[in-house]
């Protein structure tokens, strides 16, 4: 059976080279990096090597700024809560957007229950933050600005360098959630004025079980997982050496191949959208058009008159792996906060599908997906009482209404 994996945004296979690099670290080199003996010191050297690989990939001159966590979510929690706890003597106000990943949004919501306050700047219908809104939200109490680099639902690339400049002018710490961007989009922590940047290697052919938070020398954070003195007291707990080794190599390779990979997935993205929009009626793209301002791996569409889970299941039955709503939380099938933030009509949010492309997808696969998905939409519409009502003229199309 044909199998097409179009959910690279939720996870990717570990590269063969990365896999090979990890293998010795399970049963042969198994020391705890805190230990003072050959096994432990070897592990410590491996950590240092990975710190270099990560810091170089984001143009940082400070490998010591790399803090290893267990995943992107934890890195984001550390950035948000760690900043809040470290800077609460200066103020207790945080600025984010309405379209952050739940790991940022829910960390901020947690802090709000513990005496902090937050301003959520809006995004427009394509998901863009207006840097002027950030500027306007800054108060003398503001200690942190946190925004994503590329949106995990609709691929919108934010003007992070502009926001960084504003943050610097106001001497406010700036955290960029680059969990969906690192490995795919260029990152330069200096130029972006990023005090903190998070990275998630399993999005670019590295392993699960490792996340990274990079902190520049001026940024202040407190650890949020307390215990031993690992990661210079910024993250306690025995380090996951194999995943860190694999993650570091995946980062290095992703950076080397970044432009090649990005231009390939962008071509696939364009072909996919062209195919879908030509063969399916009442379908719309969410987020910016493919191009400079959209993550090349993400295609988010809404197909009117049908619901998301049925599409996922029929795609799966056709061997096609896709996501719906939020790529990270499709299990609960509640529509994603981003879709609400861009003001997407509720029925379009429910019919939402995210195709996310990977470096190994082919043009033939895209053709197969277009053909299959067209049939799936037809089939579900045949079953849908809404489609029937629309055909009979009882209800009108949200998408057609907008196009007029």
Partner 1 sequence: MAEEYNPYNPIVMDHFLNPRNMGDLEDADGIGEVGAAACGDIMKISLKISDDGRISDARFKTFGCGSAIASSSMATELVKGKTIEEALKVTNKNVVDALGGLPPVKIHCSVLAEEAIKAALEDYLKRHPEKAAMVATNSHSA
Ligand X SMILES: Cc1ncc(COP(=O)(O)O)c(C=O)c1O
Range 10-69, binding ligand X (CB under 6 A): none
If one asks whether residue 113 binds partner 1 (CB under 8 A), the answer comes out as no
If one asks whether residue 73 binds ligand X (CB under 6 A), the answer comes out as yes
If one asks whether residue 362 binds partner 1 (CB under 8 A), the answer comes out as no
- Considering CB distances under 5 to 8 angstroms, the limit depending on partner class, which of a second copy, ligand X, partner 1, none binds residue 305? partner 1
| Secondary structure E strands in 122-195 | 142-148, 173-177
Tokens 């033939």 — which residue? 364
- Specify the DSSP element, H or E, that contains 270: helix 241-279
User: Which is closer to a second copy, CB of 112 or CB of 364?
Assistant: 112
- The contacts of residue 164 (CB under 8 Å, 6+ apart) are 174, 176, 191, 192, 193, 194
User: Which is closer to a second copy, CB of 32 or CB of 277?
Assistant: 32
DSSP 57-76: HTT-S-GGGEEEESSHHHHH
**Sole window of 59-67, 90-98, 201-209, 372-380 interacting with a second copy (rule: CB under 8 A):** 201-209
- Specify the DSSP element, H or E, that contains 258: helix 241-279
For the chain, what's the residue count? 404
Give the integer Cα–Cα distance in Å for 138 and 133. 9
- Considering CB distances under 5 to 8 angstroms, the limit depending on partner class, which of a second copy, ligand X, partner 1, none binds residue 388? partner 1
If one asks whether residue 236 binds a second copy (CB under 8 A), the answer comes out as yes
The β-bridge relationship of strands 320-321 and 4-5 is parallel
Residue whose C-alpha is closest to residue 182's, from 198, 193, 196, 195: 198
If one asks whether residue 384 binds ligand X (CB under 6 A), the answer comes out as no
| Helical packing angle, 72-87 and 102-112, nearest 10° | 30
**Sole window of 53-61, 74-82, 125-133, 297-305 interacting with a second copy (rule: CB under 8 A):** 74-82
Active-site annotation holder among 306, 328, 344, 370:
328
If one asks whether residue 327 binds ligand X (CB under 6 A), the answer comes out as yes
DSSP 355-370: EE--TT--HHHHHHHH
If one asks whether residue 37 binds a second copy (CB under 8 A), the answer comes out as yes
User: Which is closer to partner 1, CB of 267 or CB of 333?
Assistant: 333
From residue 74 to residue 103, the character string flagging contacts with partner 1 as x (rule: CB under 8 A) and all else as - is: ------------------------------
CA distances to 238, 241, 371, 373 from 320, rounded to whole Å, are 38, 33, 12, 9
Tokens 């090979």 — which residue? 20
| Helical packing angle, 363-383 and 241-279, nearest 10° | 60
**Sole window of 46-54, 71-79, 131-139, 389-397 interacting with a second copy (rule: CB under 8 A):** 71-79
If one asks whether residue 71 binds ligand X (CB under 6 A), the answer comes out as yes
Active site residue 328: yes
**Sole window of 235-243, 257-265, 375-383, 386-394 interacting with a second copy (rule: CB under 8 A):** 235-243
- In the complex, the smallest distance separating the C-beta of residue 197 from partner 1, rounded to whole angstroms, is 26
User: Which is closer to ligand X, CB of 82 or CB of 376?
Assistant: 82
If one asks whether residue 12 binds a second copy (CB under 8 A), the answer comes out as yes
Residues annotated catalytic, as ranges: 328
Q: For binding to partner 1 (CB under 8 A), which residues are involved?
A: 1, 36, 38, 41-42, 44-45, 305-310, 313-314, 316-317, 319, 332-333, 346-347, 350, 382-388
């Amino acid at each position: 059976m044909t199998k097409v994996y179009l959910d690279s945004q939720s996870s990717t296979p570990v590269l063969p080279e990365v896999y090979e690099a990890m293998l010795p670290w399970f049963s042969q080199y198994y020391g705890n990096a805190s230990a003072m003996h050959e096994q432990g010191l070897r592990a410590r050297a491996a950590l240092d090597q990975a710190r270099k690989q990560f810091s170089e990939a984001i143009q940082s001159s400070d490998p010591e700024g790399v803090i290893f966590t267990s995943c992107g979510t934890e890195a984001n929690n550390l950035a948000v809560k760690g900043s809040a706890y470290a800077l609460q003597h200066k103020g207790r106000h945080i600025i984010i957007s309405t379209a952050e990943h739940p790991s940022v949004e829910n960390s901020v919501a947690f802090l709000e229950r513990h005496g902090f306050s937050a301003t959520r700047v809006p995004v427009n219908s394509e998901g863009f933050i207006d840097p002027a809104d950030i500027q306007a939200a800054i108060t003398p109490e503001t200690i942190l600005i946190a925004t994503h680099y590329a949106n995990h639902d609709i691929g919108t690339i934010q003007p992070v360098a502009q926001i960084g400049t504003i943050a610097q002018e106001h001497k406010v710490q700036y955290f960029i959630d680059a969990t969906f961007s690192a490995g795919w989009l260029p990152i330069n922590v200096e130029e972006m004025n990023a005090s903190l940047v998070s990275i998630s290697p399993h999005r670019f052919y590295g392993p699960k079980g490792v996340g990274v938070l990079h902190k520049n020398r001026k940024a202040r954070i407190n650890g949020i997982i307390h215990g031993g003195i690992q990661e210079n007291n910024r993250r306690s707990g025995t380090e996951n050496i194999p995943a860190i080794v694999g993650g570091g190599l995946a980062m290095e390779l992703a950076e080397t191949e970044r432009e090649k990979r990005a231009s390939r997935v962008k071509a696939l993205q364009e072909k996919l959208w062209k195919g879908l929009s030509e063969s399916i009626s009442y379908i719309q793209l969410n987020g910016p058009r493919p191009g400079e301002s959209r993550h090349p791996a993400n295609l988010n569409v809404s197909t009117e008159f049908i619901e998301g889970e049925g599409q996922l299941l029929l795609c799966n039955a056709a061997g096609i792996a896709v996501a719906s709503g939020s790529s990270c939380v499709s299990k609960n099938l509640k529509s994603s906060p981003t879709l609400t933030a861009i003001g997407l009509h509720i029925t379009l949010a429910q019919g939402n599908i995210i195709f996310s492309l990977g470096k190994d997808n082919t043009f033939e696969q895209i053709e197969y997906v277009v053909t299959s998905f067209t049939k799936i939409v037809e089939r579900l519409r045949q079953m849908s009482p809404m489609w029937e009502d629309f055909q009979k003229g009882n209800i009108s199309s949200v998408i057609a209404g907008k196009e007029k």
